[in-house]
Amino acid sequence: MALVLRGGRVVGGTGVRRADVRISGGVIVSVGPDEAVAGDDITDVSGKFILPGGVDAHTHFDLPLGDGTRSDDDFASGTRSAIAGGTTCVIDYATQFRGESLNRGLDNWHGLADGRCFCDYSFHLAVTDWNGSVADELPGVMARGVTSFKMYMAYKGALQVDDGVLYEALRRLEDLGGLLCVHCENGDIISALSRELLRAGKTGPEHHPASRPEELEAEATGRLLVIASLAGAPVYVVHVSSGASIKKILEARSSGQTVFAETCPQYLYLDDSLYSPARADAAKYVCSPPLRDGRNHAEMWSALSKNIADVVATDHCSFNFNGRKDRHNCDFTGIPNGLPGVGSRMMLLYLGVARGLITMPQMARLASENPARIFGIHPGKGSITPGADADIVVLDPDGKSVITAETQFQNVDYTPYEGWEIPCRIESTYLRGERVFHMGRFLPGGPRGRFVRRRAAGVF
Ligand SMILES: [Zn+2]
């Protein structure tokens, strides 16, 4: 028996149209004006938006820190909150730590995620220890369905790689058809600035943004783009937070480079006033790059509305405030970096639509279609077209939601958007044709997310 979502407003990357969506065997079989046949199970969704399930291309679930602790959302709670927020696929950053092979890093993440995910999932692989044998593993890792990688220009002494390594990795990945994602901040200067601040007795969380000013993000972005140009390789810039970095990306594109740009809701809505020393909870907002001066928001929204930025992901990495983030007033560099957000991304993007900052088709592209295309899973994910996985969000624009820590599914004791009223409701989420979340509740059934093997990435 087929399922038909009848009469909704189906949102694609290029427009919105009233149509039925007919689903069978976990995939979309047809989209059109009158698709139901005798015996179909029909759900009336008239007046509702029918969006492709969200693809969050940047999460860190169950992330081990150096000290033996881990981030607070694991793959179960993280993907569960993804589903409740209308995201049906996440691409998490598996990490090869120093001394590990790439395959070991990937095996570790499969061990954390397999059998525990409520939405579909895939991995990028962050490479922190580059050498000849690691480079030789790349084809095998790509054959395992992981076609995008990550390097950090920040976190000196831990994750950071040098410019020569970036160049070599970009050359190698260009040959193989892989895509490198890069965290652009100048880690050397950040390390020096942090020491300088601490020596001056500036130890509280309010000093975190001064240790990583936006010039150091723009500088690293520009430097990466020169390196990528010399390597002749495409590149994906994660979590762009400021207009200055967007400018670097535009310059590189105008000279013909292929550059993808991602930003996150925190850089669209939250600003550095949250680090005010007057706030007792400034440590909640410690993430990298830090929240910026609010004048960047208009530039970031403009980058979305002009299709300059390609993807809105979350960089979800949650740490409880009480007992974790609040424990480092004597040294802000010890505060675990990251914000929760996988559960609120789609609602926050819709808030941008409601405010007239982006359109519904742009929302579908930024949240779903573009990351699916860039990371090699389109059209199976990220589109409502025949043959695609029936990963679907029914969004009610007449509904209302309030984001609160109390009601969220994220396993963390706060949300940066506490009390925010959102003029929509995620009514239902379908994963491969099965309704898994409806009207605030999960339907019976355990974790049924599948690992998604990806094709060579970066083809747009
Ligand atoms: Zn990240």
pTM recorded for the entire structure: 0.97
At a CB cut-off of 8 Å and minimum separation 6, what does 132 contact?
A: none
315 CA distance to ligand 1 middle (Å): 5
**244-256 residue pLDDT tens:** 999 999 999 999 9
Q: How confident is the model at residue 458 (pLDDT cuts 50, 70, 90)?
A: low
Tell me what percent of the residues of the chain surpass a pLDDT of 70.
Answer: 99
Question: Given a cut of 60, is residue 460 above it in pLDDT?
Answer: no
Tell me the mean pLDDT in the region 315-326. 96
Closest CA to 9 of 44, 54, 46: 46
56 CA distance to ligand 1 middle (Å): 12
Instruction: Give domain status of residue 420, yes or no.
Output: no
441 CA distance to ligand 1 middle (Å): 29
* Residues 264/313, Cβ–Cβ less than 8 Å: yes
Tell me the mean pLDDT in the region 104-121. 98
60 CA distance to ligand 1 middle (Å): 6
Instruction: Give domain status of residue 358, yes or no.
Output: yes
70 CA distance to ligand 1 middle (Å): 14
Q: What is the pLDDT of residue 419?
A: 98
Q: What is the pLDDT of residue 67?
A: 83
Instruction: Give domain status of residue 34, yes or no.
Output: no
**432-454 residue pLDDT tens:** 999 999 999 999 999 999 999 99
In whole angstroms, what is the distance from residue 27 CA to residue 432 CA? 6
Closest CA to 212 of 180, 252, 185, 241: 185
| Pair of tokens at residue 350 | 């819709």
Tell me the mean pLDDT in the region 177-193. 98
Quote the Cα angle for 369-372-373, to 5°.
Answer: 85
95 CA distance to ligand 1 middle (Å): 11
In whole angstroms, what is the distance from residue 1 CA to residue 20 CA? 16
Q: What are phi and psi of 301, to 5 degrees?
A: -65, -40
Min mean pLDDT across 213-222, 324-333, 402-411 is at 324-333
Mean pLDDT for all residues in the chain: 97
Instruction: Give domain status of residue 395, yes or no.
Output: no
H/E stretch holding 431 reads strand 425-431
Instruction: Give domain status of residue 412, yes or no.
Output: no
| Coil vs helix vs strand at 392 | strand
Helix runs in 288-433, H state only: 295-305, 345-354, 360-364, 370-374
Instruction: Give domain status of residue 43, yes or no.
Output: no
Is the backbone peptide bond immediately before 379 cis, with ω within 30 degrees of 0? Answer: yes
Q: How confident is the model at residue 330 (pLDDT cuts 50, 70, 90)?
A: confident
Q: What is the pLDDT of residue 456?
A: 82
Instruction: Give domain status of residue 230, yes or no.
Output: yes
Question: Given a cut of 70, is residue 459 above it in pLDDT?
Answer: no
* Residues 90/54, Cβ–Cβ less than 8 Å: no
Is the backbone peptide bond immediately before 205 cis, with ω within 30 degrees of 0? Answer: no
126 CA distance to ligand 1 middle (Å): 10
Q: What is the pLDDT of residue 1?
A: 83
Closest CA to 315 of 55, 60, 54, 83: 60
| Pair of tokens at residue 66 | 């150096």
Report the CATH number at residue 98: 3.20.20.140
- Residues of the domain holding 276: 54-374
58 CA distance to ligand 1 middle (Å): 6
386 CA distance to ligand 1 middle (Å): 33
Tell me what percent of the residues of the chain surpass a pLDDT of 90.
Answer: 97
Question: How many domains does the chain fold into?
Answer: 1
Instruction: Give domain status of residue 444, yes or no.
Output: no
Q: What is the pLDDT of residue 289?
A: 98
288 CA distance to ligand 1 middle (Å): 8
387 CA distance to ligand 1 middle (Å): 32
Q: How confident is the model at residue 275 (pLDDT cuts 50, 70, 90)?
A: very high
In whole angstroms, what is the distance from residue 242 CA to residue 384 CA? 32
**137-173 residue pLDDT tens:** 999 999 999 999 999 999 999 999 999 999 999 999 9
337 CA distance to ligand 1 middle (Å): 9
350 CA distance to ligand 1 middle (Å): 23
